[in-house]
Chain A
């Protein structure tokens, strides 16, 4: 018991020491409310409004990128959407670039105001050279909420 407590204290001491000596990446006190999460996720990224996304889709210029898992994608997705979970961004990068060069506007989306998947997908695609990718926050719910058509089962 005593050894376990000592190891626990040692681990915490190591954690504190490492955290204080490294360049800070995480504050001791963080805000995890939905609003602060959403704004943190979008830092450095461009958000696209539902109106603009809908307009682009009607013009046939939207390339929707569904960042959710395959199961959710199959159950339903935005029309013409590609399924690219963030860890597959590297593999899909070339294909997306080709489509963008053909004139399509890449728009990443997922589900939920504080969902981190589409921002992460957007960042990874940007690292692959797709500079123009934007994020439709809470895309899945808002698209359906607006009564717009979807594909899938």
Chain B
């Protein structure tokens, strides 16, 4: 018999459910805050100095609602593989942008949970936070077993 792996809980479906709900709430909240202030969010995107000008407005208009949809998917537990894959993709892209700006020494506000472009850039902290969320999203992607999800609820009630 091998020794039990002390880190096995990391892959547990319960942890997935917790991460899933947490990430869902975060994406829903972040998406709504940005979706309600497109000009502010566009300014924040511009401050990253990464995207070409013509791409900034479409991204400011569309991305928040992609986040909202991802958030709802994760909260309800519907299409979780797709939702967590998309969440992971988004978080990976954000991490790359943050990392790029750390390397460039750009000092900007995050633009993650508000549309304020002001304030000192605390880019390293934002990057660490983002990577933490990315780790959670990947855990959900690989370990989720639909605990506490809407679909399970529907299945249970329809079987009675």
Contact = CB atoms under 8 A, between A and B. Distances in A.
Contact of A2 (B61, B82, B107): B82
B69 A14 contact: yes
A19 B34 CA distance: 13
Contacts of A67: 118
A86 B68 CA distance: 28
A139 B60 CA distance: 29
Contact of A27 (B57, B67, B118): B57
Contacts of A27: 57
B39 A26 contact: yes
A30 B79 contact: no
Interface residues of A, number: 36
A32 B69 contact: no
Given A14-B68, A69-B107, A117-B118, A3 B38 contact: no
Interface stretch (B17-25, B83-91, B97-105, B147-155): B83-91
A79 B59 CA distance: 41
25 contacts: A2-B82, A4-B85, A4-B86, A4-B89, A7-B66, A7-B73, A11-B62, A11-B66, A12-B65, A14-B65, A14-B69, A26-B57, A26-B60, A28-B58, A30-B53, A31-B53, A69-B107, A69-B119, A86-B116, A87-B116, A87-B119, A116-B43, A116-B118, A117-B117, A120-B118
Interface of B: 35, 37-39, 42-43, 46, 53-54, 56-58, 60-70, 73, 79, 81-83, 85-86, 89, 107, 116-120
A87 B48 CA distance: 20
Interface in A55-86: 67, 69-71, 85-86
A25 interface: yes
B85 A3 contact: yes
A120 B116 CA distance: 10
Interface in A1-34: 1-8, 10-12, 14-16, 18-19, 25-33
